[in-house]
A and B are shown apart, each in its own frame.
Chain A
Amino acid sequence: MGHYSFYISTLVVYFGIDLLSAWSLNLQYGYTGVINFAYVVFQATGAYVAGVVVLGSDTGAGSYQHYILGAHLPFPVPLLAATFAGALLSGVIGLFAVRRIRRDYQAAVMLILSLILLQLVQSDTAIFNGQDGITAIPHPLQSALGLSLSTYQWVYALWVLAICAVVYVVVQKLCRSSWGRSLRAIRDQEDAAASLGLNGTKLRLEVLIIGGAIAGLSGGLLVEYIGAWSPGAWGYAETFVIFTAVLVGGVGNNRAMLLGTLIVPIIVLEVPSFLPTIVYPGLIDAIEWIIVGLGWMGFLLVRPRGLIPERRFHAPRRLSSAVDRVGLLGVIAPVTANVGAPVDATAPAAGARAERGREEE
């Protein structure tokens, strides 16, 4: 029983952390169309920062690891530091990465960044202890609460789920606000949205920063749970897992992230760890990655909007009934109302996307 309890609580923690990541990427890709192939970099930033600010000054446990920013900070501060670090790095990178350049260039620049920063941290051992990474990060509050490890596992799982609930409420509120509507407007028709005074670059930057904050938070939660972090944990393929979860669940639908996260990181990647080694160690991992890659390509081909796609946005009743009476949705609404709300009304002109059936109920 003990083993299963441990395993299941671990899965719950991973599920919560991947869910946070999926919401972050969904906000960026699903709502705004930013293809952030460097997602895992921001998660790693949060993880490293949360780690080094509890490990104490440079020497670490037994002075075998070297890193910057060493400190001894009490419990909730490392998580806040991780969140802030993720947001800060996103802001810096966003200054050049989300300008008005072609989206495929954006994606390529992000991917290059992810690959190069990994090489940098691997080869400069003074930043975060290079290839070996940082270890011996204590579980927060375990001794203060006086819990056994098996109980602590479940307490931590609940803590992660509670954070998920908070983040969900925040993200959902953001996405339904007029700000969220302007995100979808610049995603679907940047020119039309710009003509209404929306600044696409600024919105993309804001989304990158908010997503980066969530990424940093998720990294902090992860490192406090597993107690170690090294370059092996943040290859570019890790971004891919979360991206696949978004694609499978439903692009632009925060609730569908539950489904996507359950299927991709948990069922496809975690459950096979039960299987015995076949042929040589590592073969199952490779096969898992191939399955993820094929799943990703398959969904892009067959259901690029996911299993439960974004639902069509309905204008508030007051506005829509007024428009019904006037009957000039596409003409009057964008002009009369403030930015955001009625921009979806330009959807009929949105061309390709609408043709592909995104707007259907």
Chain B
Amino acid sequence: MNILIQTIGFGIVSASIIAVGAMGFTIQFGLTNVLNLSFGGVMTVSAFIIYLTEQQAGINVWLGLLLAGVGAAALTVFLGKTVFKVYARRGTHLFEMVMVTLGLSLVIEYAVDAISRDQVYSISFDQGASYHIGAVTLSESQIIIVGIGIVVFLALEGLLHLTRLGKALRAMAVDPGLARSCGIPTNRIVNATWLISGFLCGVAGVIYVINSLSVSYTTGMLFLPSVIAAAILGGVGSPRGAILAALLLGLVTQLVAAAGLSAYSSMAAFGVLVIVLLARPSGVLSAAARKVELTL
């Protein structure tokens, strides 16, 4: 019984890591309709930023986190404004866009590979004291990770529902044309989305490597499946859905691992996604069924 509760505790930790990435992914996907596979590449970049700042230069971890977030946000905005915009202007289809983003991911990944000399770098990070919460024992850094997940969720919900920017974001996600004709500066809103999404992507990359303790050019691609699965599972554009889906995936992964089948834990998470695709495909229906266009 204690093992079960402990496993649930670990599940919540991995859920928080997935959730931060999934919320960043889903908010951008919901608004621009770009299924952005280069998210993985950007996460790798942010993981290397924390490695270089916190591990090599000895900068405070919170400052490193901020730098990684800002770096990832800047990179994402840059890609959104240059690469994606160019393709959107050329009339690239939705399904071609997903191919473009994968190409971009490959380019970023191997650029990082070239710069990082094809090595895996280990991260030594003081996990802090252990705390006992009921039957669950978590390290300080794990508790902070859960805290970051909760703070990001609350901040995003607050942003979406309490501010004018959030209102504009939601309006644009529903109908970009109508939003534009109501005087919403759609261009600026899209920029804001890239910025938020990129920042969350950076934070997710950092807490992922702080938990997994190593970084290489494949880091982002290892983490990306969970992020996309949570975003699709939770329903596009919904931070609430993303956090629930992340909880489900995190718990399933940890429970399967605790049952001694750790090789199958990510497969089990994928199984959940498949069941959802089969049983409840609303929101993932074909573009013909729901009119969807690129908004850039």
Contact = CB atoms under 8 A, between A and B. Distances in A.
Interface of A: 33, 35, 37, 96, 99-105, 107-109, 111-113, 115-117, 119-120, 123-124, 190-191, 236-237, 240, 243, 280-283, 285-287, 289-290, 292-294, 296-297, 300-301, 304, 352, 355-356
Contacts of A105: 35, 232, 284
14 contacts: A99-B277, A100-B285, A107-B99, A116-B266, A117-B267, A120-B266, A237-B106, A243-B99, A283-B118, A293-B107, A296-B103, A297-B83, A300-B100, A356-B91
A190 B286 contact: yes
Interface residues of B, number: 53
Given A108-B232, A113-B270, A103 B107 contact: no
A66 to B, nearest CB: 13
Interface in B100-132: 100, 102-104, 106-107, 109-111, 113-114, 117-118
A262 to B, nearest CB: 21
A120 B228 CA distance: 18
The CB with the most chain B CB atoms within 10 A, among A108, A111, A240, is that of: A108
A120 to B, nearest CB: 5
A116 B118 contact: no
A102 B97 CA distance: 13
A282 B224 contact: no
B281 A352 contact: no
B95 to A, nearest CB: 4
Contact of A297 (B100, B225, B281, B286): B100
B274 to A, nearest CB: 5
Contact of B117 (A108, A243, A282, A296): A282
B35 A108 contact: yes
B93 interface: yes
B104 A108 contact: no
Contact of B107 (A102, A116, A290, A301): A290
A interface SS class = helix
Contacts of A300: 87, 92, 96, 99-100, 103
B229 A35 contact: no
A293 B99 CA distance: 10
B106 A102 contact: no
Contacts of B106: 237, 240, 289-290, 292-293, 296
Nearest to A287: B114
Interface in B207-262: 221-222, 224-225, 228-229, 232, 262
Contacts of A293: 103-104, 106-107, 110
A285 B113 CA distance: 10
A285 B212 CA distance: 27
Given A240-B106, A301-B86, A304-B92, A96 B277 contact: yes
A207 B228 CA distance: 26
B41 to A, nearest CB: 10
Contacts of B225: 111-112, 115-116
A113 B224 CA distance: 11
Contacts of B99: 35, 107, 243, 296, 300
The CB with the most chain B CB atoms within 10 A, among A281, A297, A301, A352, is that of: A297
A100 B289 CA distance: 9
Contacts of A37: 102
A103 B284 CA distance: 9
Contacts of B102: 37, 107, 111, 240
